[in-house]
Amino acid sequence: MDSAGTMIAFHLSVPYGLGIVREQDVYDALKHGSLNGISSPTKDILASLFIENSPSSIIKAVQECGSSVDNAQKLYAEIVGKFAFHPSPEWEKATL
């Protein structure tokens, strides 16, 4: 489990059953800056990405998949806005 994407997927899946969130799901969300195209329940679990993971882990996953912090920020805005998840003070502090 060397990649941040794998660690994030594993961490998010643990309460629901291993493999529900895959590394590729994490990368797809970060690359596209959106949860569109990801099916439930994976989408619903990924909505906790910024609350359940450290900014450094998320940024490492962003780099691994060739995305950008701007795309991660779009994903964060979608999760907080459209999915009405609580904001992540840690993410906001790290990306100011």
Question: Is the model's pLDDT at 96 over the cut of 90?
Answer: no
> From CA 33, how far away is CA 18, in angstroms rounded?
24
What is the model's pLDDT at position 1?
A: 58
Q: Are 72 and 30 in contact (CB under 8 A)?
A: yes
Mean pLDDT for the chain?
A: 95
What tens digit of pLDDT does each residue of 29-81 get? 999 999 999 999 999 999 999 999 999 999 999 999 999 999 999 999 999 99
> From CA 35, how far away is CA 77, in angstroms rounded?
11
What tens digit of pLDDT does each residue of 6-40 get? 999 999 999 998 889 999 999 999 999 999 999 99
**Can you give the pTM of this predicted structure?**
0.93
The domain locations on the chain are 4-94
Task: Give 62's contacts (C-beta < 8 A, 6+ positions apart).
Answer: 30, 68, 69, 71, 72
Q: Give the amino acid at 3.
A: S
